Each structure stands twice: as C-alpha cells, then as structure tokens.
C-alpha cells in the first residue's frame, strides 16, 4: 500500500503546439497538462530524468503526487494529482506527454493497477505455459489506500486451470470494478511439436511417388486402348 505522496517539481509553459513540444523534448523535458476539479487546465513541463526517477513506470497510475508548479497561481502551486494518461514513442521508448488529474484525498478515485503472480505452480513445473489474459485491473479506493500492485497466487494451478478476478484478494477499502468471472491467467498445456521428416527421406519419398505415378497412368491408357 502507498501511504505517502511523492513530490514532483514542474514548471508552467506558455508555448504549446507540436513545434513547442518538440523543442521541449529536445531539451530533455516532457510536455504535460494539469487539469480537473474547479481549477482550469495548466500547461506544464517536467524534466524527463526527474520524472522517470520519481515515478517509476510500474507506479504511473497508482502514485499520489504533490506537484510543485513553478509559475502557477498561488492557490494552484501545490496540487495533489494522479497521472491520468501517458503518451510514449514505442520505438524510441521516449515519453511524449503526461496528463495530471487534480484529486482530493477525501474522494475515491479509480486507477489501473498491475497484477503480479506469486508462488510456484505445479503445472508450470510440468511444462505448462502460464498465459496472462490481463496484466492489470481497475480498482476504486481513496488515493492514499491505492496499492502499487495486487498479487495473484498461482501455487495451486495445474495444467488447464484458470484464475479469475474473484481469485484476486484486494486490500481493505479497495474495490475491484470488473466482473468476478473475468479471466486473469490461464495455464495452457505444453506446445506439442511434430517430429520433422529428415530431408533425405522426404526427397526419397517424393522420387518414389514420381516413379510410381506414370505406371498408373500407363495402365489406365492400356485399359482404354483395349
């Protein structure tokens, strides 16, 4: 469970648009927006290195963050936020933008939380393949009750078994919002590979077939001529 906020410095920015965002990224910064509640949207920029160090990827959507906004109005200099959306260049693995949503510590929020499997499955030891149908689930709770992740025990899974949302144990105060029957993981049978026919045998077989085929045709022709 996460019981304290993380501190993240950002700065307001006056220039917006694609060209301005490209210049920010070239300078090692990520363009972003702070929005939500009664206050208006504020365009900000955050140092990419500081962001990655302060908010690891696994905790993007579960972290409760207190922003320190340089250049913001006095009443909005230190809002409490959670990350609502992150855009990333999948090829370069570079962050393109981040959106922060203002929240109240007294009001429940929803967030996407990773599911981590724990334990050793007998079926996996027998060669079964553990397939993750859902890597994350959406939970609802007060911000300071937000877990970093939820654990799913696979220690009793045999080949052919599956675990569903109802098998996931949420901490007190945390509600799972999906359907109890939603499948999270499946333990599939081992992949069976057919034994390949050696190339020499395959070629020999093909030659035999080619040699045999004219004989059949010849017999049919002889019958037709007769």
Q: Does 97 share its domain with 114?
A: no
Q: Does 86 share its domain with 171?
A: no
Residue 200 above 50 pLDDT? yes
Domain boundary, last residue among 61, 81, 103: 103
Least confident window among 72-76, 112-116, 151-155: 72-76
Query: Region 191-216: what's the mean pLDDT?
Result: 55
Dihedral sign (CA 187, 179, 2, 63): positive
CB 100 within 8 A of CB 35: yes
Query: Region 22-38: what's the mean pLDDT?
Result: 92
- Separation of alpha carbons 144 and 62, rounded Å: 10
* Domain assignment present for 1: no
For the stretch 54-96, pLDDT in tens is 999 888 999 999 999 998 887 788 999 999 999 998 887 889 9
CA 27 → CA 23, 43, 45, 56, 185, distances in Å?
Answer: 6, 17, 11, 21, 42
Q: Does 99 share its domain with 116?
A: no
CB atoms within 10 A of CB 13: 18
The set of residues, in sequence order, having a beta carbon less than 8 Å from that of 221 and lying 6+ positions away, is none
Q: For residue 11, what is the enclosing H or E element? A: strand 6-12
At residue 195, the pLDDT reads: 62
- Separation of alpha carbons 172 and 144, rounded Å: 12
Dihedral sign (CA 121, 118, 109, 13): negative
* Domain assignment present for 194: no
Model-level pTM? 0.75
> Per the structure block, which two tokens stand in for 83?
């990350």
Instruction: Label residue 71 left, alpha or beta by phi (over 0 means left) and psi (-120 to 50 means alpha).
Output: left
Average model confidence (pLDDT) for the chain?
Answer: 86
* Domain assignment present for 170: yes
Higher pLDDT: 172 or 73? It is 172
Q: Does 72 share its domain with 143?
A: no
Half-sphere exposure in the Cβ direction for 60 (13 Å, CA): 16
> Per the structure block, which two tokens stand in for 208?
């035999």
């Amino acid at each position: 469970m996460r019981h304290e906020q993380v501190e993240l410095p950002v700065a307001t920015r006056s220039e917006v648009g694609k060209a301005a965002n490209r210049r920010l990224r070239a300078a090692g910064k990520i363009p972003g927006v702070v929005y939500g509640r009664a206050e208006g949207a504020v365009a900000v920029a955050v140092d990419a290195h500081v962001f990655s160090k302060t908010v690891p990827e696994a905790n993007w959507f579960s972290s409760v963050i207190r922003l320190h906004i340089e250049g913001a109005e006095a009443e909005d200099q230190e809002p409490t936020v959670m990350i609502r959306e992150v855009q990333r260049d999948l090829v370069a693995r570079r962050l393109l933008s981040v959106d922060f949503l203002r929240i109240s510590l007294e009001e429940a929020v929803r967030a996407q939380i990773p599911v981590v499997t724990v334990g050793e499955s007998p079926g996996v030891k027998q060669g079964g393949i553990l397939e993750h149908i859902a890597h994350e689930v959406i939970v609802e709770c007060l911000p300071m009750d937000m877990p970093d992740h939820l654990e799913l025990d696979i220690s009793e899974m045999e080949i052919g078994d599956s675990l569903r949302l109802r098998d996931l144990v949420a901490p007190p105060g945390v509600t799972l919002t999906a359907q109890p029957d939603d499948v999270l993981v499946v333990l599939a049978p081992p992949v069976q590979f057919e034994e390949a026919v050696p190339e020499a045998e395959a070629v020999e077989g093909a030659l035999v077939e080619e040699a045999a085929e004219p004989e059949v045709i010849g017999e049919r022709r002889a019958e037709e001529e007769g």
